[in-house]
Amino acid sequence: MSRFFKGGSSDSDSESESSSEESSVYSSSSAENSSSEESSSDDSETESESSESSESSSSESESESSDSESESESESDSSEASDSEGESSESESESESEQESEEEESSEDEEERPKGPAGFLKTTAKPDESKSAASKFLRGGESSDESSDEEDGRRVVKSARDKRLEELDTCIQTIDSSSKSNKWVVVSNEFDHLNKISQKCAQAGQRPPKYIELISKLDELLESADKAFVKKLDAANARAFNTLKQRVRKNNRQFAREIERYRQDPVAFLKPVEIADVVKTSNAKAGQDEIIVDGVATRGIVAPVATDGLGKADEIKPADIFKHLRTIYEARGKKSTDRAEQIRILEKLASVAVTDYQRLRVKVALISARFDLSPSGQYMPVEQWNFALKELIEMLDVMDKNRKIVVVEDIEDDFEDDDNVAANAVDGVLRVQGSMISFLERLDDEFTRSLQMIDPHSPEYIERLKNETDLYKLIVKTQSYLERINVVNNTARLIMRRLDRLYYKTEQVIRANEEAAWSSFPATFDLTITPRALTSTPDDLIHALCVYLYKNGTSLLRTRAMLCHIYHEALQNRFYKARDMLLMSHLQDTVHAADIATQILHNRTMVQIGFCAFRNGMVQEAQSALQDVSTTGRVKELLGQGIQTPKFGQAAPEPDRLDRQLVLPFHMHINLELLECVYLTCSMLMEIPAMAAALSAASDARKKVISRPFRRMLEYNDRQSFTGPPENTREFIMQASKALSDGDWRRCEEFIHSIKIWNLMADTESIKSMLSEKIREEGLRTYLLTYAAFYDSMSLSFLAETFDLPLERITVIISRLLSKREIHAALDEVHGAVVFERVELNRLEILAIQLSEKVAQLGEANEKVYEQKTQHNNPQDNRRRDKGGAVKRRNDRGGNNDNRGNRSEAN
């Protein structure tokens, strides 16, 4: 009240004294009327603040400093009191004792104060009190009894871990007492709180054994209760009891093994495990455990390091390895886990291990930790990849020397000592939980991801690609291990990985990889699936791998093996074998149901078949195989060599990321410029004679368009008012097509030979000579179809001299034109000439030809609709399926058994 009334003297000491007296009266009355523990604690803090402020000195500066320090101390005391109220009963008793002492002091002050109106008058502080208050803030001054009492009762700073354990103990005591008094509503609420505390403890390093003990006892208590017991409870407790029983059952499923171990030996399970607190680096995040190490409070994680009170990792004993492994596995995958620190600890454990079983257990955990270290969206660091590769080879060497230990998947991961493990061995063979094929597949995927992300035009890409030889050695070495333990499913997956590393390579590269892989084995060593004697050549090796997958692989593996086999046969210029394998397997009917990676492999195989046909001079077959891929406008995406950027808008990040994972490494790409060049060249050799035949009156004027993209390019080139010299592959082919349509085959040949992309193909000279021959033949056909109407007869020797072809070849070409009724003429072999006939179609014949065309088109349309309705409802899937069906339909169309061809001829 005195701070609102300024009366008497203006002395600062008297004002502060009056204020302290007024606050003491308020604190005394509130202490007497308080009924809760929190209000008494707050009043005691207010009382301590008023007593300290009442002992201010006569100096104004000392009074201000005393007030500020007392306020800061009271704030820290209040925050500490609020933290400690819910943690221990000991802190509550201390606050109650302080409250009683402060109430006695306030009552003494109230007795000393004058009664009545004199109570509002300012009083003079006692000399000894001011001296005592001032001595607290002076150097060398004597402290009062009150300050010494504060020093004796200094608060203790506890780590977050200790606070959680105390809170856990309090929660367990509450559940125990409430369950005895049948307060199941309280037990249900405390059970939720207990699970939250346990989860925090598990994130910090280890789940407390007391928690397992409580949930085990609680489960036994709930299961032992009968219906009569539940009926005795009131409605709220009965409902809480039934709900808690279901929740405890669900919760205990994930701790079944720990509960079983506790029930077998409770004393050993509750025995405390000594672990050390390892300090993290400066990048610790808020919310992690506060640990006191050597008197310094830091933030870090609880790391499983063997200690004897010093917290050093150099003192790990071999007998404690499994205990540390358990702790590492429990901390794996949590946000507060330092993965680099885990790897360092596991490397130390690997150096301490003395038995082969211990080494394998540590190696399995270490390789998994290295894979976890790779950042999200990035490839695994090359250094860690090399370490993982080396450790996998070491594991295979250990199991090769000691055949009594194997790494398998179908066992539980128990952290037991060597004696117990030996007792549980099956047929004398120790089994370690792990998967060699999974490690190998992850290592292979990380290698592929690194090649996807590294710039292919940099030296780093070449250096990284050199590691493929080491990876192939590991694949062959793992194959020998899986053959020994006879795991068929895993062996098929590994054979597929080995085939993926071989099918697209040339014979020289395959031989080099095989020699490097076999050099790591003794001379007497041999494999069962790919023995040395039967796989001496790359063709035999690919055949042996594919045959094994045909017999033992899944449906997807068999499909991929067939595509790889066809790809390799096409790469070796065996077109007919590759084509027959594709048609007999009926992959074009089922590939739409496969995953995207398999569809990409199918498209690559079709392109390789087209290249193979082109190298063998089969222009029509090459154009048919390449047309479905080349005419889509998404060649890069279909071949897995890039992602097409959308014209409008922005692609979603998640699908874009998944699409980028399907992109093949650069050294596996097919040259898209070469693909376009081959396709346009084949289209030129087929379209120019067809366009000439369409202009012929004697021929069918409404021929089907073979290649629409080529027609569009040619029409665009014809519309140009000025045509300069060609600069790229497309312009060279368009200029060659124009020359060929004019009958100037020499100029066409010159343009085609000027294309530099042919140098990328093997045996370039033979390809150019094949193209020259094809250009002469198609030039002859174009000349005859274009100018047949202007000649009565033509000498065969003149045609042979003009087009630089043998007379026998000229006769074959003209005979083919006559058999297909493309020209109306007769071959005079006696005089060596071809005699043309003047034939003009009447109106009825023209209508008959039109009707025949429309019937053929209608039949093809009906077949497509029938296929879509019976097999595929998705037009996109049907389009993908047609990629493989194009070769079969066009090849069969020229045969004698084609029903559609027979119907057309009949019409």
pLDDT tens sequence across 612-655: 999 999 999 999 999 989 888 889 889 988 876 655 555 555 55
Percentage, residues of the chain above pLDDT 90: 27
With beta carbons less than 8 A apart as the criterion, state whether 263 and 290 touch.
no
Select from 507, 505, 494, 510 the least CA-distant residue to 439.
Answer: 494
User: Residues 823-853: pLDDT tens digits?
Assistant: 888 888 888 888 888 767 678 878 888 898 8
Please report which confidence band the pLDDT of residue 132 belongs to, taking 50, 70 and 90 as the band edges: very low
Crossing angle of helices 672-695 and 708-719, in 10° steps, is 80
Select from 361, 368, 392 the least CA-distant residue to 478.
Answer: 392
Give the C-alpha separation, 299 to 281, whole Å: 9
When mean pLDDT is compared over 208-222, 464-478, 886-900, the highest value belongs to 464-478
Beta bridge partners, 297, equal 292
Q: Alpha carbon 268 to chain centroid distance?
A: 41
Give the mean pLDDT of 376-383: 85
Specify the higher pLDDT residue, 45 or 671. Answer: 671
Of the candidate ranges 246-255, 328-337, 436-445, the one whose mean pLDDT is the lowest: 328-337
Q: Check residue 685 and give its pLDDT.
A: 92
Q: Check residue 753 and give its pLDDT.
A: 92
Specify the higher pLDDT residue, 65 or 368. Answer: 368
With beta carbons less than 8 A apart as the criterion, state whether 588 and 582 touch.
yes
pLDDT at 907 over 50: no
pLDDT at 811 over 70: yes
> Over the chain, what is the mean pLDDT?
75
Q: Check residue 652 and give its pLDDT.
A: 56
User: Which residue bears the tokens 């597929």?
Assistant: 496
pLDDT at 505 over 80: yes
Q: Check residue 154 and give its pLDDT.
A: 55
Q: Alpha carbon 907 to chain centroid distance?
A: 59
pLDDT at 560 over 90: yes
Q: What is the 3-state secondary structure (H, E, C) of 125-175?
A: CCHHHHHHHHHCCCCCCCCCHHHHHHHHCCCCCCCHHHHHHHHHHHHHHHH
User: Which residue bears the tokens 């009240």?
Assistant: 1
Please, what is the Cα angle at 458 between 454 and 464, to 5 degrees? 55
Q: Check residue 896 and give its pLDDT.
A: 41
Q: b/e per residue, 794-805, with b = 16+ CB within 10 A?
A: bebeebbebbeb
Looking at residue 116, the DSSP 8-state letter turns out to be G
Return the CATH number of the domain spanning residue range 672-836.
1.10.10.10
pLDDT at 523 over 60: yes
Q: Check residue 540 and give its pLDDT.
A: 93
pLDDT at 820 over 60: yes
Output the DSSP codes for 282-344.
Answer: TTPPTTSEEEEETTEEEEEEEE----SSS--GGG--GGGHHHHHHHHHHHTT-TT--HHHHHH
Of the candidate ranges 132-136, 317-321, 428-432, 575-579, the one whose mean pLDDT is the lowest: 132-136
Please report which confidence band the pLDDT of residue 282 belongs to, taking 50, 70 and 90 as the band edges: very low
Q: Check residue 477 and give its pLDDT.
A: 93
pLDDT at 591 over 90: no
Please report which confidence band the pLDDT of residue 658 belongs to, taking 50, 70 and 90 as the band edges: low
Give the mean pLDDT of 812-817: 89
| Angstrom distances, CA of residue 115 to CA of 45, 103, 166, 339 | 26, 19, 49, 72
For the chain, what are the domain ranges? 162-269, 554-643, 672-836
Q: Check residue 295 and give its pLDDT.
A: 39
Percentage, residues of the chain above pLDDT 70: 69
Q: Check residue 419 and give its pLDDT.
A: 52
When mean pLDDT is compared over 123-127, 267-271, 691-695, 707-711, the highest value belongs to 707-711
The values of phi and psi at residue 302, to 5°, are: -85, 110
Give the C-alpha separation, 120 to 5, whole Å: 10
- Nearby residues of 81 by Cβ (< 8 Å), 6 or more positions away: 41, 45, 91, 95
Specify the higher pLDDT residue, 332 or 514. Answer: 514
Q: Check residue 273 and give its pLDDT.
A: 52
Task: Give all strands of the β-sheet with 833-836 in edge-to-edge order.
Answer: 793-795, 833-836, 825-828
User: Residues 72-108: pLDDT tens digits?
Assistant: 344 444 444 334 343 444 444 444 444 544 454 444 4
pLDDT at 116 over 90: no
Q: Check residue 382 and give its pLDDT.
A: 92
Please report which confidence band the pLDDT of residue 118 belongs to, taking 50, 70 and 90 as the band edges: very low
Q: Alpha helices, DSSP H only, in 742-822? A: 745-753, 764-787, 796-803, 807-819
**What's the N-to-C CA distance of the chain in angstroms?**
119
What does DSSP say about strands 289-293 and 405-408: parallel, antiparallel, or unpaired? unpaired
Q: Check residue 424 and give its pLDDT.
A: 55
Q: Check residue 46 and give its pLDDT.
A: 40
Please report which confidence band the pLDDT of residue 397 belongs to, taking 50, 70 and 90 as the band edges: very high
Please report which confidence band the pLDDT of residue 281 belongs to, taking 50, 70 and 90 as the band edges: very low
Please report which confidence band the pLDDT of residue 126 belongs to, taking 50, 70 and 90 as the band edges: very low
Of the candidate ranges 14-23, 492-501, 578-587, 668-677, the one whose mean pLDDT is the lowest: 14-23
Of the candidate ranges 137-146, 215-224, 275-284, 551-560, the one whose mean pLDDT is the lowest: 275-284
Of the candidate ranges 256-270, 347-361, 789-803, the one whose mean pLDDT is the lowest: 256-270
Select from 286, 278, 283 the least CA-distant residue to 316.
Answer: 278
